[in-house]
Amino acid sequence: MIHCVRQILFILLLVSTACAMKAPVQEMSDARSAIKTAHALPGAGKKADAYLKSAESALQDAANAIRDEHYERARSKAVEAKRNAQEAARLKQHQSQ
């Protein structure tokens, strides 16, 4: 029984490790899409522009992390990029109302 539990735990460990070692393709795509959307919106403002620049910088950091195979950092930076781009879009939309 203990041997069976050890095998199951080992398999779960392998599966979770494999998931952590994948490049964050979806997160990168989401971030690029959010940045594109924010750029397409009319309006400008110092705060919105700052968020958009921060999003672009975070996306570049994510791309560099993928190149270096630091996938968790890449995932984190891609999520940051998306969040900043969404905030830029929100500010632009609020400004145009």
Please tell me whether the overall predicted TM-score, pTM, comes out greater than 0.85 for this model.
no
CB atoms closer than 10 angstroms to residue 80: 19
For 80, residues 6+ apart whose C-beta sits below 8 A from its C-beta are 55, 58
Q: What type of residue is 75?
A: R
pLDDT tens for the chain, 97 residues long, are 666 667 776 676 666 665 557 999 999 999 999 999 999 999 878 999 999 999 999 999 999 999 999 999 999 999 999 999 999 999 999 876 6
Of the chain, the end-to-end C-alpha distance in Å amounts to 65
Q: For the stretch 50-67, what's the b/e string if a residue is b when 16 or more beta carbons lie within 10 angstroms of its beta carbon? A: ebbebbbebbebbbebbe
Q: How far apart are CA 41 and CA 59, in angstroms?
A: 19
